[in-house]
Amino acid sequence: MIKTSAFASLALVFAMACTAQPKPAAPGAPVETGKANSNYKPAFEGQTRGPGMTSATAYEAVKLAEGLGRPWAVVPLPDGRLLLTIKSGYMEIRGTDGQLQHKITGLPAVADRGQGGLLDVVPDPDFASNKTLYWAYSEQQGDSNLTAVAKGQLASDENSIQNISVIFRATPKLKSSLHFGSRLLFSKEGYLFVTTGERSNLDGRKQSQWLNSGLGKVFRITKEGKPAPGNPFIGKADVMPEIWSYGHRNPQSLDMHPVTGELWEAEFGPRGGDELNLIKPGKNYGWPIITYGIEYGGPAIGDAIQQKDGMEQPVYYWDPVISPSGMTFYKGNTIPEWENNLIIACLSGMHLNRLKLENGRVAGEERLLSNLNERFRDVAYLDGKLYTVTDSGKLYVVKKK
């Protein structure tokens, strides 16, 4: 069923699509039926191709806006509006009706090539009083680049950022336009988590395992960019004290469980081997020593092993890949069966992936909005609804019918 309506002020057409999904072939049958890229075996039952599930509550996706350029992040502001980043180097404030309220310009130049550009953004926990924003971007340095994090105050007219300073850089810089990571998230203690990729070349790949490198890591820093108190490697020689975890490939998904406070992360694998991880301080998540994926061209990666002492197993992995970008927990119960479920925006998967988590494992999986044929770049939760942006430049709201 398709319905349309229009905002008279903008003469925009809004498409409302009923998003009923096909039921699994049999109760609990996995949603993935395609051939895996490898013959690797999971480390435990349910680590991949877990039981499928179907939402009992009717829901719908409403297209709020289109022609957004290349959005990368959609983030709720404390006042209930939406903040979007556009990869070419500016932000937008939009109402939950999708209408543009402010375009924010004047940010530092970004290396807008490949996967680079203006990436994630997050408001300060005290944004209501200090109007401070933090954002991640690819910063050009000579003929190379890196992931940087800056902060500044939103001007009173909400059209620019003032008092800008770069608080963190994930060194070393490399010649690459890929795998910047760049997801940002504040902890309940007010410290900032920052994810970085390993830049998708062999030089950067091996540095995922190096504790003196900023590549392939999850960092935990203060608002000033210093190592957060209690970080696991503070005081260790030849180690970056900002590191929280390491051995990551390209982590673009990060959120905290609304009940347990656990930090969950998802990252892109190569050909196969996208991972969902429960992040714990000081732990090694294995890349590129262990992986459930293979090289894009077909050969095995390294010694073709999937388990090794001292390296964490993913809670869940996908083969074929879904390409997990932004993710959020569904923090309410407007749609009861979604409460505390993890929702992941998928690029090559072209759906929102809903995961039910129980006791640190995936107990169910559903593919939402696959009928829209969109590459979903990010997803956010606000007041019982999901807001998601796509690579085609659209903003959708997903809500109960």
Q: Which of 50, 7, 37 is nearest to 361 (CA)?
A: 50
Q: Is-contact 220 242, C-beta < 8 A?
A: yes
What are the backbone dihedrals phi and psi of residue 114, each rounded to the nearest 5 degrees, phi first? 55, -125
Q: Which of these is catalytic: 179, 248, 257, 351?
A: 179
Judge whether 257 counts as a catalytic residue: no
Residues annotated catalytic, as ranges? 179
